[in-house]
Amino acid sequence: MWHGFPLRPDQISTIAQGVDHLYYFLTAVDLFFTAGIFLTIFYFAIRYRRRSEDEQPPRIEGNLALEITWSVVPALLCGVMFVWGSSLYIRNSRPPEAATEIFVIGKQWMWHLQHPEGPREINELHVPVGRPIKLTMTSEDVIHDFFVPAFRVKKDVVPGRYSTIWFQATKTGRYRFFCAQYCGTFHSHMTGWVEVMTPEEYEHWLSGGVKTESMAAAGAALYQQFGCVTCHGTGKGPPFTNLYGNPVKLDNGQTVVADDAYLRESILDPSAKIVAGYSPIMPTFRGQISEEQILQIIAYIKSLSTAEGKK
């Protein structure tokens, strides 16, 4: 019945209903109090209007019961909104461990999507139904925002950092996505389609078409091409084996976990954190390497980690 009605897009993800319920609650509270306040204003204006020139209303000194009521009731309502909203937010911002990762790069004015297995897409995203998908997103230039109304997911895509969202689609079909952050002249062209397929169709789609190498394989080629191997393959730089996801000791005594953000920083700004026991000889690759290539190198480094290597 709501199909195509612009105020409520289709609910196509596991979190869509929860988001909508909170939204209905907030709207209902707003409507109730807006109507109540306006009706009271009009009723009082008429009921207590001045009836003669010398009419003096009685003096009222306050009413404790009323004051407690109008403090406690809004406080309780705000408490409900806070607990409900934040628990939903926390649940929706933590991707399940088993989520399939797909990478999103925004640039003026298109969306570039990359699957770990290799396929790349522009303004189209193919995903399987019923499986959690985690999007790791960054921008090549200005702030964009990835928004899929049918999934009720939306997050800023910021240059210089990785942001993530996740969803699990519940129905096959084609659903629109948009850039939801004004990003220049052709911002309105930065839209596309999510194509939700059955798992079999998705496997078929992944393996069909032009044969592309995996992100990790592309990263391994870049590792040679950029000469990373001359240090990291020789002992002049730390080895990448079992680096991803593990703690790294720095020369200032601190420890950091080697996640996507740390690896990205190590490549673009090597002097920001120096690994203990090594000298700061690594040159910066800022300006020579694209966001997409950084993601490929990270995929390569990730592929060198084994479950047994987890510290």
Residue 72: strand, helix, or coil: helix
Residues 169-198, interacting with Cu ion (CB under 5 A): 179, 183, 190
Burial bucket for residue 163 (CB in 10 Å: 0-12, 13-18, 19+): middle
Residue linked to tokens 């988001």: 19
Q: Does 70 sit behind a cis peptide bond, omega within 30 degrees of 0 on the bond before it?
A: no
Residue 75 has which token pair?
Answer: 């406080």
How many amino acids of this chain bind Cu ion (CB under 5 A)? 4
Q: Which residues contact 25 (CB under 8 A, 6 or more apart)?
A: 81, 84
Amino acid at position 285, single letter: F
Binds 190: which of Cu ion, ligand HEC, none (CB < 5-8 Å by kind): Cu ion
CB 4 within 8 A of CB 176: no
Q: Is 220 in the site for ligand HEC (CB under 6 A)?
A: no
> Quick one: DSSP state of residue 271?
G
Residues 148-187, interacting with ligand HEC (CB under 6 A): none
Instruction: Determine the Cα–Cα distance for residues 75 and 68; give it in Å rounded to an integer.
Output: 11
Residues 229-258, interacting with ligand HEC (CB under 6 A): 230-232, 236-238, 243, 248, 258
Residues in the chain: 311
Binds 230: which of Cu ion, ligand HEC, none (CB < 5-8 Å by kind): ligand HEC
Binds 285: which of Cu ion, ligand HEC, none (CB < 5-8 Å by kind): ligand HEC
Instruction: Determine the Cα–Cα distance for residues 34 and 36; give it in Å rounded to an integer.
Output: 6
Instruction: Determine the Cα–Cα distance for residues 297 and 303; give it in Å rounded to an integer.
Output: 10
The CB-of-226 to ligand HEC minimum distance in angstroms stands at: 4
Binds 237: which of ligand HEC, Cu ion, none (CB < 5-8 Å by kind): ligand HEC
In the list 79, 96, 160, 280, the residue contacting ligand HEC (rule: CB under 6 A) is 280
Binds 281: which of Cu ion, ligand HEC, none (CB < 5-8 Å by kind): ligand HEC
Give φ, ψ of 296 to 5 degrees: -70, -40
* Binding region for ligand HEC (CB under 6 A) out of 44-52, 156-164, 266-274, 302-310: 266-274
Burial bucket for residue 260 (CB in 10 Å: 0-12, 13-18, 19+): buried
Binds 236: which of ligand HEC, Cu ion, none (CB < 5-8 Å by kind): ligand HEC
Q: Is 227 in the site for ligand HEC (CB under 6 A)?
A: yes
Q: Is 258 in the site for Cu ion (CB under 5 A)?
A: no
Binding mask 283-302 for Cu ion (x = CB under 5 A): --------------------
* Binding region for ligand HEC (CB under 6 A) out of 123-131, 169-177, 201-209, 272-280: 272-280
Long-range contacts of 269-273 (CB under 8 A, 24+ apart): 273/248
Interface residues with Cu ion (CB under 5 A) are 144, 179, 183, 190
Interface residues with ligand HEC (CB under 6 A) are 226-228, 230-232, 236-238, 243, 248, 258, 263, 266-267, 270, 274-275, 278, 280-282, 285, 297
